[in-house]
Amino acid sequence: MDPSAAFRKALRMWLPRTAVAVDHFHLISLANQAMTETRQNLSQQVKGRRGRATDKAWAHRMLLLRGGDTRTCRAAHRLEEVFALDDPTGTLQAVWKVKEQLRALLRTGSLEDAAAAKKVLEELVKAAARQETNRLYRTVCRWWKEIEVLIITGATTGKVEANNTAIKNIKRTARGYRNAANYKSVILLRSAAGRWHDAHSRNPFPHEP
């Protein structure tokens, strides 16, 4: 599930024996949010303005969110430039390390490794000394049992999220229709066309064995 206290409370009320896993995507999203907020706040604190295209941190803001283990050599060099030229206090790099450590924690395959990674994460959060990473770490602590379930089971809401996106895209094709019957017809036609396309993309010759 999403890291929502209300969702968790409701689930525990009606299904108290169910094991709950917090979703990997949403945890990474929170880490990326902490990274973005830190960059924005530092720009205001150090430069007294929002980021500009001439700022390395702003120009490569998406690179700051990219997984460190997926970088190319060129991307790694650009990130080093960001830290060297646009991070005089070293704060941006410290927060980036927190984000990457959380990603490493979620990749662990056992509870022992996860606990060890959590200790490293705690030390990095203390070193960063930022409210953004402090808030992130508090979330990790509050949802630690659910994170352990995630590490053990690998459960994810990826398929559900994909289905929700597909549903929204189908509904979007019919926006603007004032007549409810026409709106429904367009949605049904779009759904039928999508199913036909999926079936024939798997087997372009459905009448042949």
pLDDT digits (tens, 9 = 90+) for 27-69: 999 999 999 999 999 999 888 999 898 999 999 999 999 999 8
Overall pTM > 0.85: no
Q: What is the pLDDT of residue 165?
A: 85
Backbone CA torsion sign across 15, 20, 25, 27: positive
Residue with tokens 């024939």: 200
| Domain ranges, ordered by start, for the chain | 5-153, 158-202
- DSSP 8-class letter at 55: S
- Strands (E) across 89-186 are located at none
CB 49 within 8 A of CB 43: yes
Which contacts qualify for 160-166: CB closer than 8 Å, 24 or more apart? 161/25, 166/194
Q: What is the pLDDT of residue 38?
A: 96
CB 115 within 8 A of CB 99: no
pLDDT digits (tens, 9 = 90+) for 82-129: 999 999 899 999 999 999 999 999 999 999 999 999 999 999 999 999
Report the alpha-carbon distance of residue 40 to residue 45 in Å, rounded.
9
203, amino acid identity? N
In whole angstroms, what separates CA 66 from the centre of its chain? 11
CB 162 within 8 A of CB 68: no
